[in-house]
Homo-oligomer: A and B are copies of this chain.
C-alpha cells in the first residue's frame, strides 16, 4: 500500500510534542517548543509533518481567530468543540457526542456520506459580559 514512513528524529520529536499536549498546538508553537528543548527541527519540517498527519487523519485541525492553524492528535481527547469568548478569546471545551450524532444523521438524511464538520461557537464569557455592548 502506501510506503511506510521513514523514522526520523524530527518526525519523532514532532509527534512526541503533539502527544504531550491535550490541546491544539500551532506549528509555530510546536516549532518554538522543539527549539527550546534542544531537539532542533526546521519550521518547514514541522509544517510538513503536521500536514501529513492531517491528511492521514491522525490529527484534527482548526483555525484560530488569529489566523493560525492548530493541530491536535485525534486520540488525545474525545471529539469535542470549543466556545470562544469574543472579548478575551478564552476557550472553553464543550463535550458533545450528541452534536456529532445529530450532524451525522442530518447530513445522511440529505444524502451525504463521509461527513466532516466544523462547528464554531462564539459568545461572551461571564467576565467579559459585564463590560461593553
Contacts and interface: CB of A to CB of B under 8 A. Distances in A.
A116 B112 contact: no
Contacts of A112: 83, 85, 92, 121, 123-126
Nearest to A119: B119
A113 B92 contact: no
Nearest to A117: B121
28 contacts: A62-B120, A63-B67, A83-B106, A83-B107, A83-B110, A83-B112, A85-B112, A94-B107, A94-B109, A99-B103, A103-B121, A106-B121, A107-B121, A107-B123, A111-B126, A112-B121, A112-B124, A112-B125, A113-B123, A113-B126, A114-B123, A114-B124, A114-B129, A116-B122, A117-B119, A118-B120, A119-B119, A120-B120
